[in-house]
């Protein structure tokens, strides 16, 4: 059996335990060999953040130091460029081929917005979608809901047997942390102790990050 890789894209502004711990638990649940963090400047359908990619990358590096599970992809870190998941996944597939099982990890909040992503249906022709439990307010529209149901599998083995094409809802417990909450804490002069590694908190404080929202 080929080893499973997973891509975890995000704004990571900043990276927090909701990302790191969820990813580690997913790796155990699904037997993922490597998780490739894919930080971006700010996805095209969301507002741009003010934090530099350099600071975001530094915080990611602090978070994954000495952790063999993670690696970083720099494919979406270029300035003033709009990146689309479908294009990045195509690039990754060209590099690793089409036989390697590959998951793209997203939180359940993001799944409900998937229909506004470029060529969203085609994502499953390049990877599986691995859904991480997360509080989500918006209801699925019926077309998206139907598409999700028709591609969802409950057996993890399917993800290993086919390189792409399935949606799997992870059974890991939800970690209720968001970058928004963390940014707000620092803006208000509060600590985010326990929500992200303390070394990242130190970095944020030393660089005076999130003083402007
Ligand atoms: P923001 O609060 O700024 O929207 P965020 O906390 O959602 O940020 P992102 O970097 O935007 O973090 O998220 C990257 C990916 O990680 C998304 O797919 C998102 O759904 C997922 N994610 C973020 N936080 C969690 C969490 N606590 N548990 C599971 N998935 C999460």
CATH of the domain at 51: 3.40.50.620
Say how many domains are in the chain.
Answer: 1
Distance 46 CA to ligand 1 centre (A): 13
Q: Note whether residue 39 is domain-resident.
A: yes
- 29, 101, 105, 107, 194 from 129: Cα distances, Å: 14, 11, 6, 10, 28
Q: What is the pLDDT of residue 46?
A: 53
- Tell me what pLDDT residue 59 has: 98
Q: Is the Cβ atom of 11 under 6 angstroms away from ligand 1?
A: yes
**pLDDT tens-digit profile, the chain (213 residues):** 679 999 999 999 999 999 999 999 999 999 999 999 999 986 555 555 679 999 999 999 999 999 999 999 999 998 888 899 999 999 999 999 999 999 999 999 999 889 999 999 999 999 999 999 998 766 668 889 999 999 999 999 999 999 999 999 999 999 999 999 999 999 999 999 999 999 999 999 999 999 986
Is the distance from the beta carbon of residue 112 to the nearest atom of ligand 1 less than 6 Å? no
Give the structural domain span for 117. Answer: 4-176
pLDDT at 43: 52
**131 within a domain of the structure (yes/no):** yes
Q: What is the pLDDT of residue 141?
A: 82
Which residues, including other chains, have CB under 8 Å from residue 28's CB and lie 6 or more apart?
none
Structural contact between residues 4 and 28, judged by C-beta atoms closer than 8 angstroms: no
User: Would 189 be classed as within a structural domain?
Assistant: no
Q: State which ligand 1 atom lies nearest to the alpha carbon of 107.
A: 20
* Ligand 1 and 192: CB distance under 6 A: no
| 151 in a structural domain | yes
Helix axes 53-64, 198-207, angle to 10 degrees: 160
Residue 195 lies in a domain: no
User: Of all protein residues, whose CA lies closest to atom 21 belonging to ligand 1?
Assistant: 107
Q: Confirm or reject: Cβ of 6 under 6 Å from ligand 1.
A: no
Domain for residue 107, yes or no?
yes
> Ligand 1 in contact with 52 (CB < 6 A)?
no
Q: CB of 104 within 8 A of CB of 130?
A: yes
16 CA → ligand 1 middle, Å:
9
Residue located nearest, by CA, to atom 25 of ligand 1 = 18
Query: Which atom of ligand 1 is least distant from the CA of 105?
Result: 18
- Find out whether the beta carbon of 179 lies less than 6 Å from any atom of ligand 1: yes
Residue 184: inside a domain: no
């Amino acid at each position: 059996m080929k080893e499973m890789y997973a891509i975890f894209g995000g704004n990571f502004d900043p990276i927090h335990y909701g990302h790191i711990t969820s990813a580690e638990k997913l790796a155990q649940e699904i037997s993922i060999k490597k998780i490739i963090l894919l930080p971006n400047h700010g996805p095209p359908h969301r507002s741009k953040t003010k934090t530099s990619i350099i600071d975001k990358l530094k915080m990611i590096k602090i978070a994954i130091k000495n952790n063999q599970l993670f690696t970083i992809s720099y494919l979406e870190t270029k300035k003033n460029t709009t990146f689309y998941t479908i294009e990045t996944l195509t690039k990754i597939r060209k590099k690793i081929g089409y036989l390697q099982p590959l998951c793209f990890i997203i939180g359940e909040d993001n799944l409900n917005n998937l229909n506004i992503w470029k060529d969203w249906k085609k994502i499953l022709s390049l990877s599986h979608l691995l859904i991480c439990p997360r509080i989500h307010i918006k209801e699925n529209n019926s077309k998206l809901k139907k598409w999700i149901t028709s591609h969802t599998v409950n057996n993890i083995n399917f993800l290993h047997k086919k390189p792409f094409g399935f949606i799997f809802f992870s059974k890991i417990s939800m970690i209720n942390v968001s970058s928004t909450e963390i940014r707000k804490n620092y803006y208000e002069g509060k600590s985010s102790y326990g929500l992200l590694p303390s070394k990242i908190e130190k970095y944020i404080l030393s660089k005076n990050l999130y003083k402007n929202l």
